[in-house]
Amino acid sequence: MNQEMVSTIAGLLGGLAVFIYGMNLMSEGLQKAAGEKMKKILSVLTKNPLVGMLAGALVTAVLQSSSATTVMVIGFVSAGLMTLPQAISVIFGANIGTTMTAQIIAFSIDDFIWPIVFIGFVLYFFPKKEQLKNIGQTIFAFGLLFVGISTMSSVMKPLAGSAVFVHLIEQVAHIPALGVLVGTLMTLVVQSSSATIAVLQNFASQPMADGVTSMLGLTGAIPILLGDNIGTTITALLASVGQSRKAKRTALAHCVFNITGTFIFIWFVPWYAKFIQFISPKGPEIQVISRQIANAHTCFNITNTLLWLPLIPLMVKIVMTILPESKKDLAEKPLYEPHYLDNNVLQQPEAAIRLATMEMTRITEYVSDMAEKAKQAFLHEDKDAMRQVDQLEDIVDILQDRVTGYLSSLCKTGSLTQNQSARVSGMIRAVSDIERVGDQYMSITNFAKLKSEKEYTFTEQAIKELQEGFEHVRNMLELTVKALHDADTQTARLVVHQQESVEDLERRLSKKHMERLNLGSCSPENTVAYTDVLHDLECIGEYCSDIAEMVLDEDKSQHKVERLQEL
Domains of the chain: which residue ranges?
3-327, 343-566
At 166 the pLDDT is: 58
436 compared with 44, residue with greater pLDDT: 436
At 48 the pLDDT is: 72
Query: What predicted TM-score, i.e. pTM, was given to this entire model?
Result: 0.78
Give CA–CA dist 226/395, Å, rounded. Answer: 48
Q: pLDDT by residue (tens digit) across 480-495?
A: 888 887 778 888 888 8
Q: Is the pLDDT of residue 331 over 70?
A: no
Q: How open is the CA angle 339-344-350, to the nearest 5 degrees? A: 80
Confidence label for 561 from pLDDT (cuts 50, 70 and 90): very low
At 9 the pLDDT is: 75
Q: Is the pLDDT of residue 472 over 60?
A: yes
Mean pLDDT of 99-118: 82
At 156 the pLDDT is: 66
Q: Is the pLDDT of residue 160 over 60?
A: no
Confidence label for 565 from pLDDT (cuts 50, 70 and 90): very low
Give CA–CA dist 222/353, Å, rounded. Answer: 39
| Environment class of 414 (CB within 10 Å of its CB; exposed 0-12, middle 13-18, buried 19+) | exposed
- The CB density around residue 159, as the number of other CB atoms within 10 Å, is 18
Confidence label for 460 from pLDDT (cuts 50, 70 and 90): confident
Q: Say what angle helices 49-63 and 66-78 make with each other, to 10 degrees.
A: 130
Mean pLDDT of 423-438: 87
Q: Is the pLDDT of residue 31 over 70?
A: yes
Q: Is the pLDDT of residue 455 over 50?
A: yes
Q: Is the pLDDT of residue 169 over 70?
A: no
Q: pLDDT by residue (tens digit) across 260-271?
A: 999 999 999 899
| % of the chain with per-residue pLDDT over 90 | 11
Q: pLDDT by residue (tens digit) across 62-79?
A: 777 777 788 888 888 877
Give yes or no for a contact between 196 and 187, defined as CB atoms under 8 angstroms apart: yes
Range name among 45-59, 256-270, 311-325 with the lowest pLDDT average: 45-59
Give CA–CA dist 434/50, Å, rounded. Answer: 38
At 150 the pLDDT is: 79
Give yes or no for a contact between 377 and 444, defined as CB atoms under 8 angstroms apart: yes
| % of the chain with per-residue pLDDT over 70 | 86
Q: Is the pLDDT of residue 161 over 60?
A: no
Range name among 91-105, 445-459, 493-507 with the lowest pLDDT average: 445-459
> Highest-confidence range of 20-29, 289-298, 418-427, by mean pLDDT?
289-298
Give CA–CA dist 205/291, Å, rounded. Answer: 10
Q: Is the pLDDT of residue 163 over 80?
A: no
Residues 6+ apart with CB under 8 A from 277: 218, 292
> Highest-confidence range of 20-29, 265-274, 475-484, 507-516, by mean pLDDT?
265-274
Confidence label for 566 from pLDDT (cuts 50, 70 and 90): very low
At 567 the pLDDT is: 43
419 compared with 164, residue with greater pLDDT: 419
- Assign domain 343-566 to its CATH architecture: Up-down Bundle (1.20)
Q: How open is the CA angle 482-483-484, to the nearest 5 degrees? A: 90
Average pLDDT value for the chain = 81
Secondary structure in 3-state letters for 386-427: HHHHHHHHHHHHHHHHHHHHHHHHHHHCCCCCHHHHHHHHHH
Residues 6+ apart with CB under 8 A from 505: 468, 469, 472, 537, 538
28 compared with 383, residue with greater pLDDT: 383
Q: What is the DSSP letter of 281?
A: P
Q: How would DSSP label each residue in 329-372?
A: HHSPPPTTS-SS--GGGTTSHHHHHHHHHHHHHHHHHHHHHHHH
Q: Is the pLDDT of residue 439 over 60?
A: yes
Give CA–CA dist 437/102, Å, rounded. Answer: 52
Q: pLDDT by residue (tens digit) across 212-227?
A: 777 788 888 899 889 8
Range name among 179-188, 450-459, 461-470, 540-549 with the lowest pLDDT average: 450-459
How far apart are the two ends of the chain, measured CA to CA in Å?
Answer: 59
236 compared with 354, residue with greater pLDDT: 354
Q: pLDDT by residue (tens digit) across 197-209?
A: 888 888 788 777 6
